[in-house]
Structure formats: C-alpha cells, structure tokens
Amino acid sequence: MSSRKSTAQFNVAEAKARFSELVRKAMSGEEVVIARDNRPVLRLVPVETPRTSRRRPGSAKGQVWMATDFDETPAHFRDYA
C-alpha cells in the first residue's frame, strides 16, 4: 500500500472559483497544485499541520467529573439487571 498523497491540479481560474474547497482539501492533507498554462506554479499547503487528530493526555484534567453513584444500577432497572 502506498503512503503517497493524492495530488489535485487546478488552473488559476478554476482555483479562484473553488478556493474554499481547495483550502479544505489542503487542510485535510491532499496536495493541491495551481497551474498556469498547464504548468504547475504553486502548491497550496497549510501553514501548520492540523492538530485535530492528536489529543494531549491530561488536557481535560479537572474538567471531567463522574457521579459518586456512577456504577450503581438505577432503582427502576434493578429488575432487568
């Protein structure tokens, strides 16, 4: 299996018309190339790699709580447990 990213090439006029879509593509990791006269002239890339997929352990410390009776079966469910 290849780890190569897909490349999409757009001419300048098409890139102008579809700019928001191309930004989303670039932010999701797809390589977006803008061409003039079918010659690549620039590559649209994010300034930083998106961090949405990486969590920092402990980042929610003190923000999450659990009720003291969390593990107890509610009274109206005891017949089913």
pLDDT for the residue numbered 40: 96
pLDDT for the residue numbered 35: 96
pLDDT for the residue numbered 57: 86
Q: What is the pLDDT of residues 10-33, one digit of tens each?
A: 999 999 999 999 999 998 889 999
User: Each residue of 31-62: b (16+ CB within 10 Å) or e?
Assistant: ebebeeeeeeeeebeeeeeeeeeeeeeeeeee
In order of start, what are the domains of the chain with their CATH numbers?
Answer: 1-47 (3.40.1620.10)
Amino acid at site 16: K
- What does pTM read for this prediction? 0.52
pLDDT for the residue numbered 29: 87
